[in-house]
């Protein structure tokens, strides 16, 4: 088993399609460097044709590649299927010495992705899954991890998949506590993550319904996972790792009013850093504005009349209008 690129009990910012591109990751690391680890959104391996080296490098990010500190805390995620050009793509990633961690997305619940037999679908096909894992492990010598759900339509093959990953040399497993068919409904079932911790000898990273400091502490205590990955919780509170770093020993003393004031303060820093990065790659302010709106889905849930607040930001007519709303909350 290879050493993971982050320490035990780390907080990881999840790879998210349409979110964690290079500008976003750079902005997050500068605004809230307490996140222990970041990851690209998935690069979908083509079924027809092959990626150029430049395509792979651009997805990872040339600025990240040139920054040794940021490079050390950035993983590269792919999404593939049985008939895709997995071997060729992985060989090209392997040849880039600076990319030292490859993650395979086996948890995406997208209807389109699963219709093309990728993402969580592969958890229902053990033969195909094993062959893909073997191809990646054979052609990638550095840290290789997988991010999964607890099943596709059900959990019948959950423990089979865990054994498969362990037997085939996967270095760690991130587990979201829902099946693909559950999407994001209900409550994530942490019991399966706990059972995985007890069943395999490789590190298990917990994921699903971690929204607060209390949730972080509860998952570490109740589940016993090596580290925690946050997706929607990180989008709602991108500074959650910062709060955890500052208040992990006395979070019970933080009341809702204090956390709301912290939210107002950190929101401005968050969008300032995002604007700084996205203006470097976007020539039109409307494109930056649209990115800002896409990041606003969960940010205002804790405000009184949160839906109305969120709606006002979604209706912003310009970037300046959005920023005026931001500084007026």
Active site residue ranges: 108
DSSP reduced 3-state for 151: strand
- For residue 119, count CB atoms less than 10 angstroms from its CB and return exposed for 0-12, middle for 13-18, buried for 19 or more: buried
Both tokens assigned to 219: 């998952």
- Phi, psi of 151, rounded to the nearest 5 degrees: 165, 175
Question: Most distant CA pair in the chain: distance in Å?
Answer: 56
DSSP string for 170-213: --EEEEEEEESTTTT-S---HHHHHHHHHH-SS-EEEESS--SH
**Residue 255 backbone dihedrals phi, psi, to 5 degrees:** -90, 170
Which is nearest to 150 in space by CA: 160, 140, 136? 160
Residue with tokens 């559950």: 182
Give which of 279, 254, 281, 268 is closest to 326, Cα–Cα.
268
**CB-based contacts of 269, cutoff 8 Å, min separation 6:** 31, 239
Could you give the angle at the alpha carbon of 278 between the alpha carbons of 270 and 56, nearest 5°? 115
């Amino acid at each position: 088993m290879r050493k993971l690129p982050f320490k035990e009990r780390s907080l990881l910012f999840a790879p998210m399609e349409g979110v964690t591109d290079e500008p976003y990751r750079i902005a997050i690391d500068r605004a809230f460097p307490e996140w222990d680890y970041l990851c690209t959104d998935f690069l979908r391996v083509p079924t027809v044709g092959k990626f150029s080296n430049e395509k792979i490098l651009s997805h990872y990010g040339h600025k990240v590649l040139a920054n040794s500190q940021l490079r050390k805390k950035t993983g590269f995620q792919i999404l593939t299927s049985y008939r895709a050009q997995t071997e060729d793509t992985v060989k090209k990633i392997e040849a880039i010495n600076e990319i030292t961690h490859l993650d395979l997305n086996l948890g995406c619940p997208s209807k389109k992705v699963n219709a093309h037999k990728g993402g969580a679908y592969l958890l229902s096909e053990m033969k195909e899954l094993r062959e893909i894992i073997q191809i990646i492990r054979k052609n990638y010598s550095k840290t290789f991890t997988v991010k999964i759900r607890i099943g596709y339509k059900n959990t019948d093959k959950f423990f089979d998949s865990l054994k498969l990953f362990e037997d085939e040399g996967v270095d760690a497993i991130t587990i979201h506590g829902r099946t693909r068919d559950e999407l994001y409904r209900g409550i994530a079932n942490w019991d399966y993550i706990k059972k995985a911790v007890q069943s395999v000898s490789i590190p298990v990273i917990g994921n699903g319904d971690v929204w607060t400091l209390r949730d972080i502490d509860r998952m570490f205590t109740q589940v016993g996972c090596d580290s925690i990955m946050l997706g929607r919780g990180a989008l709602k509170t991108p500074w959650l790792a910062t709060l955890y770093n500052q208040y992990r020993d006395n979070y019970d003393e933080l009341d809702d009013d204090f956390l709301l004031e912290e939210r107002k303060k950190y929101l401005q820093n968050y969008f300032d850093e995002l604007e700084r990065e996205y203006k470097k790659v976007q020539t039109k302010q409307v494109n930056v504005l649209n990115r800002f709106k896409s990041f606003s889905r969960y940010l205002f849930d804790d405000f009184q009349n949160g839906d109305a607040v969120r709606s006002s930001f979604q209706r912003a007519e310009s970037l300046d209008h959005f920023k005026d709303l931001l500084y007026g909350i």
